[in-house]
């Protein structure tokens, strides 16, 4: 039986790739495409595929009520995603969320609603399998090389900084350091930043791991984790040169989310 999928943010760059991947998947059916742009355009044609008969529409609530999808994939913007998640969960639709920028409070609220209704979902800041492995390798290495900084580089139209991938990597590194009982070298006494933020984002959300954000045209999604040690440095880097790199992970999440009865964060839980 085909998995009925709705795509929220279907007219965006990631949304178009998701639409095309779903249309190419033999076990999936695109039943709704939601966006505030390109309204009434055929979603398949917009994605560079063949005409599919599913047109872009702006009203998520109406689309979900009419089409009854099994799964909703969300690649929208931080301002919209929180409300989208609540609408889907209220209508019994499972979630696959790639939109970043959700606050810990918003994630906790969505997780509570998911658990209350017994409806599974996954929020993943990065669906590239290589990026998931990069995060896992970094957490493992931080147990032995606890001095860590992260540089994340994305296209100039990315709205949030630091990226969700960088934040999750930093949190995984911080957790690994706590588990191993190791701490990074303290900065020199009296050290100051001549320009505030010069060492990037650093605080509770990053577990104290400095994160540096770069936004430039020509980039897609890239991240380096730098781990320093006495006389050495280990660099773990992942590059996505094409948005198609995220699609195997998205399709995996669509297939596996139906086995979940709660909301999870991170694609690594499905590997």
- Per-residue pLDDT, 41: 96
Are residues 44 and 137 located together in one domain of the fold?
no
Residue ranges for the chain with pLDDT beneath 70 = none
- Per-residue pLDDT, 164: 87
Are residues 262 and 232 located together in one domain of the fold?
no
Active site residues: 154, 158
> Which tokens hold the place of 28?
């999936």
Are residues 118 and 248 located together in one domain of the fold?
yes
Are residues 114 and 248 located together in one domain of the fold?
yes
* CATH number of the domain residue 31 falls in: 3.40.50.720
The answer to whether 242 and 258 have CB atoms below 8 angstroms apart is no
Domain of residue 160, residue span = 129-240
DSSP-assigned states of every residue in 106-164:
HHHHHHHHHHHHT--EEE-S---HHHHHHHHHHHHHHTT--EEEEEEEE-TT---SS-H
Are residues 147 and 111 located together in one domain of the fold?
no
The answer to whether 43 and 56 have CB atoms below 8 angstroms apart is yes
Are residues 90 and 186 located together in one domain of the fold?
no
Alpha-carbon torsion (161, 239, 80, 16), positive or negative: positive
- Per-residue pLDDT, 66: 96
Main-chain phi, psi angles of 44, to 5 degrees: -65, -45
Tally of structural domains, the chain: 2
pTM: 0.82
- Per-residue pLDDT, 152: 96
Best CA proximity match to 86, nearest among 44, 117, 130: 117
Are residues 228 and 259 located together in one domain of the fold?
no
3-state secondary structure of 234: strand
Are residues 217 and 166 located together in one domain of the fold?
yes
Are residues 26 and 64 located together in one domain of the fold?
yes
- Per-residue pLDDT, 161: 86
- Per-residue pLDDT, 196: 75
* CATH number of the domain residue 141 falls in: 3.30.360.10
């Amino acid at each position: 039986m085909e998995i009925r999928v709705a795509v929220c943010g279907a007219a965006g760059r990631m949304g178009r790739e998701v639409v095309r991947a779903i249309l190419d998947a033999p076990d999936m059916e695109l039943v709704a495409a939601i966006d505030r742009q390109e309204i009434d355009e055929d979603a398949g044609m917009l994605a560079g595929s063949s005409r599919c008969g599913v047109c872009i529409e702006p009203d998520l609530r109406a689309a979900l009520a009419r089409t009854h999808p099994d799964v909703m994939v969300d690649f929208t913007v931080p301002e919209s995603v929180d409300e989208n998640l609540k609408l889907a969960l209220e209508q019994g639709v499972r979630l696959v969320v790639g939109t970043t920028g959700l606050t810990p409070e918003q994630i906790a609220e969505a997780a509570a609603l998911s658990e209350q209704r017994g409806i599974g979902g996954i929020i993943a800041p990065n669906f590239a399998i290589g990026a998931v492995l990069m995060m896992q390798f970094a957490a493992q290495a931080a147990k032995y090389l606890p001095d860590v900084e992260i540089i994340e580089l994305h296209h100039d139209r990315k709205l949030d900084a630091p990226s969700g991938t960088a934040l999750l990597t930093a949190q995984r590194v911080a957790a690994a350091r706590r588990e191993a009982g190791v701490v990074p070298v303290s900065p020199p006494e009296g050290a100051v930043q001549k320009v505030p933020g010069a060492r990037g984002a650093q605080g509770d959300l990053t577990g104290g791991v400095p994160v540096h954000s770069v936004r430039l045209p020509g980039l897609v999604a890239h991240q380096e984790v730098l781990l320093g040690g006495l006389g050495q440095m280990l660099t773990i880097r992942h590059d996505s040169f094409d948005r198609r790199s995220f699609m195997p992970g998205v399709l995996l999440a669509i297939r596996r989310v139906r086995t979940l009865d709660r909301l999870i964060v991170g694609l690594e839980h499905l590997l």
